[in-house]
Chain A
């Protein structure tokens, strides 16, 4: 069967058939419903739904190379939770996933060969999806696949791709491996391969709905969606969690959870004092939620961790405090204790100075002279 995959002519013959989706057990009606939902997710006018349908229907399924580097596979797992369309549809019908370590049947040499074939035959046309950061320390030995370093693979694959989608915060900005002291010199794709066309989909893990929406955008419009200053698509990262949060009225009202399991916690009050990082995080969790919109951290009683922001492992921790620790002080020392100490020390110093000055005689000025 492996030989069959070489046979691209056959693939071309069955492209563009009207009954493509019906063949795969998806009714026309369901399909258009999906396209409408997709245009909503992408914040596009509903009138664009037919255009999305057209893009998905033509059988020029783009090839995808899904690379895993310093990852925990959480983003691949997230993809398995995709519902609109499901992972089965994505893998079989929407895309041609030619390389993805976690799900592919082939292994070893055969797996690597499949990747190289796609790169050679579809250079500049395939989509690279990257999960996990790229270590640059120790000549790249911290992550090797098939004996090649992650950096080398990323340069090859991302460099030759139409576009690279980084899924998760590790591939976008370095993520947890890049957290201080960054033992392996880990970095995100854009930093490791500056020449590549990259769109960042941070989150720990990525919200699979945003990944699907980005791919559909790319297929429909032939270009990547508009991004913010951190390379993230505006349709998913254009608003702050805090400004979209279902518990915002309790924040404005002045009702806060003070201890886990207290009455305020049970009644769904604001988690601001429990260290929620919603006020400093841009992501569409409150509206898109997770696992087919079942829940998101705040709805289930735990504060936001700020996982879609660069370097959140260092800047957003400690998790359960509003402000980061002040460098050089212990973890129990907050900015306020330091500030109060500073104010008290100032007051004490000037108090002493005042007493000394009061007993000091004959130091009066002779008065300012006009010059």
Chain B
């Protein structure tokens, strides 16, 4: 048994720390702590609710649109504002391309290095690599010369001896299983994806001025005017450019991401039995197909799956969502509180920095513990796809069955680290294929003469009731995101965000129930506790959106091992 400290966990957004017990080459328990707090919810109090999206957008710069969407939806819900169809469809395009771009970045730039040994790519035969790639897809860049060029580039870089961001990694770790050719192919696509993501995200710049942090959201609609006869509005030439970029997005996902995902997954099938987690899944559903605001009009359905039982999908009642601060550094009692009534008053009781260990019997995280009806919920692409699959969503069913068939595994394989990573690919594929349809819907609506992008009836705060409360949900790339707002005298009286990574990274609640990260880590094998690559795999499969750190803790208070570079 051993205690190991690894801090920080990299290739995620934010600051996270995990402490875990290792026993006989396996993790027997784990604790997840977030080590950063900014207090934006507190900063929001007393401000103009119409400005809230701009503040909440800064919760995260990676999933840079999601908190704006949830925020404007919350205020619209509180004030009962119905937005024009054009605005709804423009939001779908912005949300959709965010999902596609974000998932591809996650797979190649944040997650792939857990599976792909870049250094081993130097040993690959470019011709064999080309043959491997060609067997997977008809992507045009599958020639031996291309892979040779990539290999030379990597070789030249390695030769310089300063590996920059690739230094000190777990290269050569026994858990890396890919043959050199697959490593070279993935490395080539790592570099290609860097260029691709920069291109396709321009859709957000066209519709929303810039990315990260597009500046275009309005309570009641969007700020990008639509007018086919103006050069300062969304017109035919901008629509054509978006169409072209959507094509590029779809092509890369179909011909590079999905084939790579399947190829890599086929070497790591044992991970279909590791990292299961809490077994409860929640998806808020996404992509309204009209502006009615009804959950049944969402393209991805809303719902909850309990205990890995895919035969039943439960509806969500927002009143059953609570957050506990039993193990979080905030003021308040242990029992869960609904977000409308919550406060975010920091009260740090952890060790004074610099510290080595956090006592996990006490409060140990800046993340709260959200629960649905008292249960821990996993959220994210896996939840989205499982809920869609179980609800009989046609696209999801087809794609899931295809992926499971290709890997030769059953549906139970989905409840795992590999399942999470595969579900992210499936969601990307479905959204990338659906995006052009929403653009077509927008074009058809504009062609019909509807140029409205904003409903200004409730823009003036003088039209608001003295008090209002609302919530806004959004199924973000990382899962179920909810914002809850209370408005009083035209000002924000209370604001709470319950974000996907809060659900997933949650510490134990007042009853001692583990959060999804903690639960998923239990049972994970460790080839070498000094190089906790396996922890990174499972944690990264959630795509955490907060920076973090990992600790391995001995339940008997064993000695702290320093993790050394080998």
Q: How many A residues have CB within 8 A of the partner chain?
A: 112
CA distance A10 to B354 in the complex (A): 36
Q: A77-B62, A147-B355, A260-B223 are in contact. Are A2 and B168 (CB under 8 A)?
A: yes
**B159 proximity list for chain A (CB < 8 A):** 10, 14
- CB under 8 Å from chain B, chain A span 204-248: 204-205
Q: Is B158 an interface residue when CB atoms closer than 8 A count as contact?
A: yes
Are A110 and B35 in touch, CB under 8 angstroms?
A: no
Chain A residues near B169 (CB-CB < 8 A)? 1-2, 104-106, 110
Name the distance in Å between A151's Cβ and chain B's nearest Cβ: 9
Question: Which A-B residue pairs are the 7 nearest by beta carbons?
Answer: A74-B61, A108-B6, A268-B232, A183-B39, A105-B169, A290-B210, A300-B209
B411 contacts A by Cβ under 8 Å: no
Rounded to whole Å, the gap between the CB of B344 and the closest CB of chain A is 9
Query: What 1/0 mask marks residues of chain A from 42 to 68 whose CB sits below 8 Å from any chain B CB?
Result: 000000000000000001010100001
A-B contact pairs, 9 of them (CB 8 A): A71-B61, A74-B62, A101-B547, A176-B58, A184-B38, A259-B456, A260-B221, A260-B223, A330-B491
CB-CB nearest in chain A for B44: A179
**Is residue A162 contacting chain B, with contact meaning CB distance below 8 A?**
no
Are B58's CB and A108's CB within 8 A?
A: no
Are B454's CB and A142's CB within 8 A? Answer: no
Instruction: Name the distance in Å between B350's Cβ and chain A's nearest Cβ.
Output: 6
Task: Tell me the bound Cα distance from A6 to B168 in angstroms.
Answer: 10
Asked whether any CB of chain A lies closer than 8 Å to the CB of B563, the reply is yes
Q: Tell me if B549 counts as interface (CB < 8 A to partner A).
A: yes
Contact A144–B353 (Cβ < 8 Å) = yes
B536 adjacent to chain A (CB < 8 Å): yes
Q: Which residues of A are interface residues toward B (Cβ below 8 A)?
A: 1-2, 4-11, 14, 23-25, 59, 61, 63, 68-78, 80-83, 86-88, 91-93, 95-98, 100-114, 135, 138-149, 152, 175-177, 179-184, 186, 204-205, 259-261, 265-268, 289-292, 294-302, 305, 313, 317-320, 330-332
Interface contact A92-B210, CB-CB below 8 Å? no
Q: Is B36 an interface residue (CB 8 A)?
A: yes
A76 vs B105: C-alpha distance when bound (angstroms): 13
Partner of A313, one of B55, B226, B352, B454: B55
For the complex, give the distance between the alpha carbons of A364 and B157 in Å: 97
Contact at A91–B7, with CB atoms within 8 Å? no
In contact, B564 and A109 (Cβ under 8 angstroms):
yes
**CA gap between A109 and B529 in the complex, in Å:** 12
Q: Are A114 and B11 in contact (CB under 8 A)?
A: no
Min CB distance A173 to B, Å, is 14
Q: How many A-B residue pairs have CB under 8 A?
A: 390
Taken together as a complex, chains A and B put the C-alpha atoms of A144 and B348 apart, in Å, by 12
Q: Determine chain B's interface SS by DSSP, over half rule.
A: loop
How far in angstroms is the closest Cβ of chain B from A360?
43
Query: In the complex, which of the residues A102, A175, A177, A292 has the most CB atoms of chain B within 10 Å of its own CB atom?
Result: A102
B230/A266 in contact, CB under 8 A: yes
B462 near A96: Cβ-Cβ < 8 Å: no
Asked if A317 and B51 sit within 8 Å, CB to CB, the answer is yes
Residue among A23, A83, A146, A184 with most chain B CB within 10 A = A146
Find chain B residues with CB under 8 A from A14 CB.
156, 159-160
A144 near B160 with CB under 8 A, answer no
Name which residue of chain A comes closest to B539, CB basis: A107
> Chain B 49-70, CB within 8 Å of chain A: the 1/0 string?
0110011001111101000000
Give CA–CA (A180, B355) in the complex, Å.
29
> Could you tell me if B61 and A72 are in contact, using CB atoms closer than 8 angstroms?
yes
Question: Does B461 contact A260, Cβ atoms closer than 8 Å?
Answer: no
Q: B549: which of A97, A141, A146, A296 is its contact (CB, 8 Å)?
A: A146
